Structure 1
Amino acid sequence: MEPSTQEKTIGTKIFAIIKGVIAFLVVTLSLFHIFLEPKSKAQLDYAPKYKEEVRRLDSLQLHYITQLENKEINADQYVLIAKQHLASYEPSLKKISSVRRSLAQEHSFRGRSSLHFWLFVFGLVIALFFFSCKSLKDDFSRGSTFKFHFVSLTGILVSGFWFIHLIFLTQKDFTQNNYIAAILFGALLFSVFVYFLVKYYTYKDDIIYKQLWFIEKVKTTYFYNMSIKAKYAEKHKTSIPSSHNVKNVDETIDDFQKDLNELITDV
């Protein structure tokens, strides 16, 4: 049993709402980073230890200098103590730095410092991609030339570049400019694919809309005119007079053929 017109209408509205919600989430995705922490609690708790250790070591150094000035130790003793102190200085700080790097690594995501940062950047990129695709679709719908498409295509190319970088590469690759040529080539292929995909679905939707328009016009105009003529002729046993402002059969057929030819040409 086929669904009724009302059921189809409800289904269409629900689908439109779902698309609207998805579009809203895509555009506002970068804002969701506020619900994530840029650093973990362990990182925040451990962060002061480096400065504390530096202050402790500096304090010891000043203490030894004070002892030397007060002649509590002689110069030879100070040199020996200073060498030992400096020897312990670097390993102590390296140990703390190693722990900090380990904590940062645990909190990192896709080679970035955190999911907080990654989601923020990814959200901006996907918003650029969304609006570029929408702009391109509007360009196709308006029948704009390629010079207008080029602006939208550039946005898709840039977003494609960052999609690849954010998903497959790390921050280290970014700072060292690694794989730039490969990323650009991949982004170019991505943008070309999206360009023709948007073009295909835009024209497909346009054809569907024109077909629906033609069907609606047949129902509301041509069928209406023909039914009026038929009912009038059946009732009065004569054709409808021109004073009723209803087109005759030949005119109606000509208009119908004209609209049909236009539809076929567009398809």
Structure 2
Amino acid sequence: MACRRFTVCVEGNIGCGKSSFIRHFANKLPGYLNVLEEPVAQWTSLNNNNLLGMMYSDPKRWCTAFQAYVMLTMSDGHSSSRGASAPPVTLLERSLHSACRVFVENLHMQSLMDSMDYHILMEWYNLWVSDQTYDIDVIIYLRAKPSVCLERVKKRNRSEECDLSLELLEQLHQLHEDWLINHKFGCPSTRVVVLDAEQDFDSLMAVYDREVLPILRDFAGEPAVNGSAESGETDKENKPNSLVARLGVSP
């Protein structure tokens, strides 16, 4: 177990609360997690250009360039999770998989991305995911209605998202459902944990601690606060019913 590293990916629609989730656990388990938020700063400052804003303002012109850059930056995140000096658990906000299975797919479905561009990006994706570097052990799906996500997007008031529509969020929601619930595209994980992300902030954090914190602690090898550490059982080999075993993840 000492050599095993785990990747946990947080997925969900725009505005579902992924950043709050990521930051919550970064504070809960400092030193045990390699926390990688979406590289929005890179997307908004590529050679002094706001590529994210350009994509939103003229998607047909810029969506292929934007998604290609998203895939590149996401691949960097996956690669860093396997470095020799990385903490035992990497917590990713979105992934290379959702970049293709949700966002590239939607752009093509809405005829904003040319079929040739779509097939080229999918060829890149298939090449990347043939490498185990991009494997995910657990996906946390923060599931929320598009209308709830839209209200949250309005509250955070990100300039690039000022014209984000309910229609787009509905399209992205359905593709998340097709991917993670209906397994339409296959699923790059042994386990998908689906959480209701529509509750108020304090209730959400309580649910996340109850449902996700034990998974992260078990992967990280950190004893639970009120668990086996008090009886001296800190070695995973002495815990045959560990979450790692129950999730079906090979050490």
Which TM class, normalised by the smaller chain length?
A: under 0.3
Q: Return the structure number with greater strand share.
A: 2
Q: Which one has the largest radius of gyration? A: 1
TM-score (norm 1): 0.23
TM-score (norm 2): 0.24
Q: Return the structure number with greater helix share.
A: 1
1 or 2 for the larger relative contact order (CA 8 Å, sep ≥6)?
A: 2
